[in-house]
Structure 1
């Protein structure tokens, strides 16, 4: 069963890109991601950083059955023949000590170059290297992480109330972030810097994560694509067989499928 009914025919993609799952935190929507992973097949699966949240697990342990299920499903894809590449981010930087290794069919790399079906080349990286706060002022990054954790806690309680009232998931924390002018400016600087890095390497575009902001837009002749996250927006980036890319908003699709369900007649 899916979250809202019987499993339909699996969606088939050439490649799927996921990042910022933050397993090990209460804010991770591992339940949504597990549902997504059950319903797709792909030739290539890129895990674009912050899959496991080592920062949070160092402070307090949290791990539930949904987190286990996500890992099992990723390994199931690898066993089924999907080429899985894991690019560690700043929250799971401990895995950067294993770069170049392959563990249970999952290859670890600092970055990758993905060639689309139509011959375009995309630089794939987490993106924290271009976040000056994370790179040069780690104590500020950790402070910001604590504030962000508080926002996610509010988001979790907010959605608990919504669910009890019969409403679907909606990200309060993401809405709050978008109201802050400084955050919007920082996102723009980050996107511009990543696009410039791709251009410098002669790539057609860049695929990244890190800032929890799903986006697909052209910047100076380079296609910038961010696959978003599974804490706030529950989004993934997918490439179709013809080389076309699509941002998938899984939470929004669940809302739409819920509203499409027939209303039961009163007994």
Structure 2
């Protein structure tokens, strides 16, 4: 499913979100998976993530890589209060009983040296397995180890990085214009990326590589990030039913993966107008193996 701009009436489209009259509800989950926040980057939507964290609660919080963008900070020091507040909120959650696990990615790979250690209630690991309410095993990893299986060649990889930077710059300009008109955030970068054949090819190759690895690990689901392409889909690998869950990011898509209190898995997307994370896709795990293995239609934010 491709992301399209939210359609609203002209009056509501120009109504600032601060004018919402209904009280915001606390969203409760068993587990949350968030990746590719890129704190320290000018494109990070830290305010959106902070609002979500302030109005949600979960037993487990999994940070699946690229939470801090060390690469961006080396080029330019950018650390506004909102970025600092996200870190403080995560530490607060860890100190108040939420089990927090941090799996470093490639942009914060310096933390990989501290795998299997603990810091202020946060566990660091290279990979981790979560056992769901329904007894399913979820493998989580950032996904940068599969880059060699995705990039066609080094030239395409470098070109892709430069083009992505241009798309994010265009994203910022468009968001600034839409904000002055009262319209919610919408990702131009994601919209264009889904229509470029080379990008689609890389996304498919990445998904296949992650699924092959997860099948060898004999798990029920794999959660990853890295490519900034949110997705929740079911696949059959060698007669084994596997769920592929990609968190997406908080740079262009503002998405995450969640396990509900009933044990279902959801792909959620932040809605700037309702100030809530809304369900894009849902997979019921309670009866996952009751029916013959048939891969289902992919759900992509």
Q: What TM-score comes out, normalization by structure 1 length?
A: 0.89
Residues 135 and 43 of structure 1: is their aligned pair in 2 closer, same or farther, counting only changes over 3 Å? farther
> What is the match of residue 233 of structure 1?
253
- SS for the counterpart of 2:273 is helix
- The whole-number CA distance in structure 2 between the counterparts of 1:3 and 1:47 is 29
1:248 to 268, 291, 297: 268
Residues 74 and 3 of structure 1: is their aligned pair in 2 closer, same or farther, counting only changes over 3 Å? farther
- SS for the counterpart of 2:183 is coil
Higher helix share: 1
Residues 224 and 68 of structure 1: is their aligned pair in 2 closer, same or farther, counting only changes over 3 Å? same
1:37-84 deviation line (CA, Å, top 9, x unaligned): 001111000000000111111111111111011111111110110000
> What is the match of residue 29 of structure 2?
13
- Tell me whether 1:125 sits opposite 2:141 in the alignment: yes
The correspondence of residues 95-244 of structure 1 with structure 2, limited to 5 A, is 95-132=111-148, 141=157, 144-220=160-236, 221-244=241-264
Q: Tell me how far 1:112 sits from its aligned partner.
A: 0.2
> What is the match of residue 98 of structure 2?
82
- The whole-number CA distance in structure 1 between the counterparts of 2:103 and 2:18 is 29
Query: Is the CA contact 1:152–1:173 (under 8 Å) kept in the aligned structure 2?
Result: yes
Q: Tell me how far 1:3 sits from its aligned partner.
A: 5.8
> What is the match of residue 39 of structure 2?
23
User: Which runs of 5 or more structure 2 residues have no equivalent in the other structure?
Assistant: 1-16, 277-301
- The whole-number CA distance in structure 1 between the counterparts of 2:153 and 2:50 is 34
Query: Is the CA contact 1:46–1:85 (under 8 Å) kept in the aligned structure 2?
Result: yes
Number of residues of Structure 1 aligned to a counterpart in Structure 2 = 255
> What is the match of residue 51 of structure 2?
35
- The whole-number CA distance in structure 2 between the counterparts of 1:7 and 1:85 is 31
Q: Tell me how far 1:225 sits from its aligned partner.
A: 0.6
Query: Is the CA contact 2:149–2:206 (under 8 Å) kept in the aligned structure 1?
Result: no
Residues 17 and 150 of structure 1: is their aligned pair in 2 closer, same or farther, counting only changes over 3 Å? same
Q: Please identify runs of 4+ aligned residues in structure 1 that moved more than 3 A.
A: 2-7, 133-147, 255-258
1:177-235 deviation line (CA, Å, top 9, x unaligned): 11111111111111111111111111111001011111111122211011110001101
CA RMSD of aligned residues (A): 2.2
Residues 63 and 134 of structure 1: is their aligned pair in 2 closer, same or farther, counting only changes over 3 Å? farther
